[in-house]
Structure 1
Amino acid sequence: MSNLFSPLMAVIYEAISAILLFWHAAWHKVLGDASWLATNWSWVLGIIFLVITVRAILFPIFVKQIKSQRAMQALQPKVKALQEKHKGDRETMQQELMKLYREEKANPLMGCLPMFLQVPVFLGLFHVLKHLKPTMPERLKTLYGWTVGQFDSASHAKLFGAPIAGSFKSTPHELELLGANGTTVKVVAAILIATMIATTFLTSRQMILKTGWAEDPQQRMVQRLMLYGVPFSLLISGAIFPIGVVIYWVTQNLFSLGQQMWVLRKYPPPNQPGAAAKQPAKPDAKGKGDGAAKPAEPKALGPKVGAKPVNPKKGGAAKR
């Protein structure tokens, strides 16, 4: 298994490096080697546009995810009925649920697919940035399609004085090799980690608020894991992430917030006003629409053409 996994990861490392180096070269032509606010923007923007490239590739899958979630929401009454019917038999209930999903061509795991597809990208960037050490032998600097010049430039690239290859837990020796101040690195890393945790929580919360909590126990468990589990895990693991990886994660979350807002507006959940407006009115018992009384048209309130005018006083006298 490891023999198969290593070549696959090497391909991912090379693909991530190729995208990162492409965008760095593009921004370097515009910005050159200039550094503003103690930041090498050509590398920082290279990471940001790596996110945009990956999310653009995954956008069709994200749309499928939303449509799959809508299909799952439409099945909730049937799912609830099966859960009530097989309340004491969990095995049979799971079999019946799987059968229902197959018949309706709904996939409860589709909601996690975009996240799983981004994991290799995250691991690839994590490995590439951890690899950026000034003491790396030259024969290793040219791995994954890098040149020695690109490697040396990236290994000294900084964001507000903190090297993108450094992390909150970088040792004093590592920071010395990177030419960085320990306090600056910890402050920049801490702010980015806090932003990463907050935006991760908001991304999951935005989706759940728009779509609602799932009735299916498995889906609800996944929602809780995404809403609380992942942000909490980042509080611990974020300290070892290179600053460049945290930049990637924050950018990805901000991109997701905007993308979800647009997609949820275009494909609103069934219980949202936008979705209701698109639904045709249900016919009543006589097949004449939803049965609600329609307001009379203005012309219908006036007298017909050719009809004798009615004197309201005479009508009132007759009643008396």
Structure 2
Amino acid sequence: MSVIYHAISAILLFWHSAWQRLLGDASALGTDWSWVLGIVFLVLTVRVVLFPVFVRQIRSQRAVQALQPRIAELRTRHRDDRETLQRELVELYRAEKANPLMGFLPMVVQIPVFLGLLHVLRHLKPTMPEQLKTLYGWTVTQFDSASSATLFGAPIAGTFGSTGRDLALLGADGATVRTVAAVLVATMVVTTYLSSRQLILRSGWATDPPQRLVQRLMLYGIPASLLVSGLIFPIGVIIYWVTTNLFSLGQQTWMLRRYPPPVNGASSPEARADTPKAVTNGNGDEPGRPAAPKVGAKPTNRRRRRAT
């Protein structure tokens, strides 16, 4: 994890330095913008680097969605033989180059980044010994500046649950910290829900029960857990999360327009080609069925009277 801490610190310090050269040390609205914008641009850097992964994710999701009719057919055919079902599903995914686990890859990749930033910001304490302040490539001056940086008067290293002693060390007012943290936590929960909802509604609910369960977990479970865990996150980490969600909303809007979901659960071209078409007679009716009466035609008697 030390490599991750160094990487996160390097990106954060780079953007802080860039914004400090542009804005100087001036602050407005009780906010040290060079540090806040450093966190925001840390998000943008990570998301730009991960953009090809997100493109692969959406392509894989579309491939899996197109295979749903064939997957349902396999589940029906092998409902009493799970081993054969799993083997044929693997073969189907391999043949169509679809990976149902690809949807989790961006989230998995971002977890170390999130944990790295959480560790770095929790490390920002004014009472930290000087030899520890220079960990992960920081200078003492940078460390002291970050540990006192604020957003609307609340230190970015503070949390909603910070004790009175912690707040005293940060030189912060408890009411201000809790107010800013509460607003950010609420924003984090709402934007997480909207981001998940946007993706699910635009992509469609999965027909596979396990995948549908995962979708429900993403839609309701993750926002609910953030409502609790967000109370212990440093304000700087919540800024990171909210920025990530806002970026995701914009990115998903673009991706879903660029890679629209299959219409009405349309299957792949191969599946559509294998679907038999109804054979019709010259009137456009299927053989074996009586021809539809023409509009305005008079009914005729099948039996004719014998001529007398």
Bin for the TM-score computed over the shorter chain: 0.7 to 0.9
Q: 1:134 aligns to what?
A: 126
**Letter of the structure 2 residue corresponding to residue 110 of structure 1:** M
SS of the residue aligned with 1:30?
helix
**Letter of the structure 2 residue corresponding to residue 148 of structure 1:** V
Q: Distance in 2 between matches of 1:129 and 1:177?
A: 15
1:84: Cα distance to partner? 1.1
Alignment of 1:161-240 (within 5 A): 161-240=153-232
**Letter of the structure 1 residue corresponding to residue 18 of structure 2:** A
1:271: Cα distance to partner? 1.2
Q: 2:253 aligns to what?
A: 261
Q: 1:317 aligns to what?
A: none
1:105: Cα distance to partner? 1.6
Asked if 1:38 corresponds to 2:38, the answer is: no
1:60: Cα distance to partner? 0.6
Q: Residue by residue, what CA displacement relative to the aligned partner does 1:164-221 show, whole Å, maximum 9, x if unpaired?
A: 0000111100000001000100010000000000000100100111110112233222
TM-score, normalised with respect to structure 2: 0.84
Q: Distance in 2 between matches of 1:225 and 1:91?
A: 27
TM-score, normalised with respect to structure 1: 0.81
Q: Distance in 2 between matches of 1:162 and 1:127?
A: 19
Alignment of 1:1-320 (within 5 A): 9-271=1-263
Structure with bigger RCO (C-alpha 8 Å, 6+ apart): 2
**Letter of the structure 2 residue corresponding to residue 147 of structure 1:** T
Q: Distance in 2 between matches of 1:206 and 1:66?
A: 13
Larger deviation, residues 244-253 vs 229-238: 229-238
Q: Residue by residue, what CA displacement relative to the aligned partner does 1:45-97 show, whole Å, maximum 9, x if unpaired?
A: 00000000000000011011110011001101110001111223334323322
1:104: Cα distance to partner? 1.6
Gaps of 5+ in 2: 265-276, 279-283, 285-308
Identical positions, percent = 72
**Letter of the structure 1 residue corresponding to residue 145 of structure 2:** S
Q: Distance in 1 between matches of 2:216 and 2:78?
A: 24
Root mean square deviation, CA, Å = 1.6
Q: Distance in 2 between matches of 1:27 and 1:225?
A: 38
**Letter of the structure 1 residue corresponding to residue 68 of structure 2:** Q
SS of the residue aligned with 1:109?
helix
Q: Residue by residue, what CA displacement relative to the aligned partner does 1:241-269 show, whole Å, maximum 9, x if unpaired?
A: 00000000000000000000011111111
Q: Distance in 2 between matches of 1:228 and 1:83?
A: 28
**Letter of the structure 2 residue corresponding to residue 181 of structure 1:** D
**Letter of the structure 2 residue corresponding to residue 216 of structure 1:** D
1:103: Cα distance to partner? 2.0
**Letter of the structure 2 residue corresponding to residue 254 of structure 1:** L
Alignment: residue pair count: 268
1:135: Cα distance to partner? 0.3
Q: Residue by residue, what CA displacement relative to the aligned partner does 1:260-305 show, whole Å, maximum 9, x if unpaired?
A: 0011111111218xxxxxxxxxxx99xxxxx9xxxxxxxxxxxxxx
Larger deviation, residues 80-89 vs 30-39: 80-89
Q: 1:314 aligns to what?
A: none
SS of the residue aligned with 1:268?
coil
SS of the residue aligned with 1:128?
helix
Q: Distance in 2 between matches of 1:183 and 1:99?
A: 58
Q: Distance in 2 between matches of 1:200 and 1:60?
A: 22
Q: Distance in 1 between matches of 2:82 and 2:165?
A: 56
